[in-house]
Amino acid sequence: MASLKDLKTRITSVKSTQKITKAKQMVAAAKLRRAEERAKKARPYTERMEAVLANLAASAEGNPNAPRLLAGTGKDEIHLLIVATADKGLCGGFNSSIVRLAREHIVRLQSEGKKVKIITVGRKGNDQLKRLYGDLIVWKTNFVEIKQVGFAQANEIAEKTLAMFKGQEFDVATLFYGKFKNVVTQVPTPQQIIPAIAPEGAQTPDLKGAVYDYEPDEEGILRALLPRYVAVQIFRALLENVASEQAASMSAMDNATRNAGEMIDKLNLKYNRARQAQITTELIEIIAGAEAL
């Protein structure tokens, strides 16, 4: 049985941990408000770009001169997986859920005889994937030294991806990230970005019978729009990831704080019982000694 001193030391230690988790929870809550606002502000632009892409893609369907970013290479043999996670832990199962989805995708592709390449965005995703698929990782990046993720970081990833596609290093690129729903729910999401396809549910604008003349033409607009589309989708994914990470961190630290409180209550009860038992033993010894005299 632990001594009173050991119990007291453990209670003090758990209280210190509780203070840290509570502080981390408050920091995550403050960061979440800003991150959620940035993610929500980026959605209308992204959704509108998806609608424009869906409209132009419909007009270019079947066109042999359509850009390769839209039409693809005509093959489905080499897949590039862009796995975006956080740089830090202490956010519950947020990172693991994205990596798990990517691993399932890798296993399925390899079982079909496809070749897989991986780009990791975020230190935690790279740490988990390199254990089993280190030989498949062709490039990695993180944002440890950056206070706020911006479009410059997304554009760097997009340029690397587009350069690989131009060099015929892959046929299909899929982006994995955590989509922010609310504080409780963050959904691991795969999204194909090359060849570009409009996500399910993308609303095409209602032209109400009007006919537009494009200048220079649909193909020219698509060639300029598609690289931008890839960068915007990656940027949206990074913003969603930041909001999801902070929400998951806040929930995880809230649970840790409550668990620490429960542990402190149990330890205090154990300490009081041990102290009472010690006092009772000392009283019995005193009374027995007095009677013996």
- List residues with catalytic annotation: 91
Taking the CA atoms of 39, 244, 51 and 67 in sequence, report the sign of the dihedral they define: positive
* Burial (Cβ within 10 Å: 0-12, 13-18, ≥19) of residue 165: buried
Residue 260, H or E segment: helix 218-292
Amino acid in position 289: G
DSSP 61: T
Rounded Cα distance between 28 and 38, Å, is: 15
Tokens (6 digits) for 51: 């609608």
Cβ neighbours of residue 124 closer than 8 Å, sequence gap 6 or more: 85, 86, 87, 88, 89, 95, 99
